[in-house]
Each structure stands twice: as C-alpha cells, then as structure tokens.
Amino acid sequence: MDFVEHAEYLAGFAARSGTSLWEPYGIHPAPGGLLEWGSSEQADQFYWLTEGDDPDRWPVLASEDIPDSWTRFDGTAAEFVFRMLTERSHPHSVARYYDTHWFQSYEDEE
C-alpha cells in the first residue's frame, strides 16, 4: 500500500464529499494530519498522527467504524500491533477472541 497516495485519495474524498469522518483531525499532508497505515477485520482503522518532524515519534490513533471513537497510543506502530495481538485488555485487541495462542503455517502442505 502506498500510504501517501492513499492519504491523498482520502483528502480528496473528504474535500469532495464534505465528510467529517476524521474530525477533529485533517488528512496528511495537512500539518498534524492522519496517515493511515492499517486496519482490522473488526472495522478499526489505524493512523499515524503526523505531529512533529520525527516519524519515529508519531503517535498511533485508532478509530472504530463509528464517529468520535479515537484512541491515542503514544508508542510505535510495532508496539501497538504487538499489544493488540497479545493483550486482552488492549482497546483494539484481537487476543480477546482466542483462549490460547496458536500458529498456522502458510507453507504448502504435501
């Protein structure tokens, strides 16, 4: 996925439709705008909040598919994903749907 191209598409969509899906935030490249980097099967979207000059320090904002449902995570995207996959109490946890950890190989079985 080309993050910047997708952000440009979202910004254009927001301008054409007058939507307020991302309020109170703008869309990148607007200063402090949102830059989407992922989503979940549960209709959650994950963004970097592009505040400041250092992308390694951009917080993660997550939103459910409902207005005004922003959750801020002051850490890296990798830490956010790790916690989402392992912590049942994480606001966007997928771990809460499973009783035990398991692994399924995607290699061809013969």
C-alpha span between 9 and 42 (Å, rounded): 22
Residue 18's pLDDT is 67
Determine the average pLDDT of the residues in 3-10. Answer: 77
pLDDT at 41 over 80: no
Nearest residue to 53 (alpha-carbon basis) of 26, 31, 79: 31
C-alpha span between 14 and 37 (Å, rounded): 18
Residue 19's pLDDT is 64
pLDDT tens sequence across 56-104: 999 999 988 676 778 899 989 999 888 888 888 877 777 777 777 667 7
Residue 110's pLDDT is 62
C-alpha span between 26 and 32 (Å, rounded): 7
C-alpha span between 7 and 109 (Å, rounded): 39
Whole-prediction pTM? 0.71
More confident residue, 61 or 23: 61
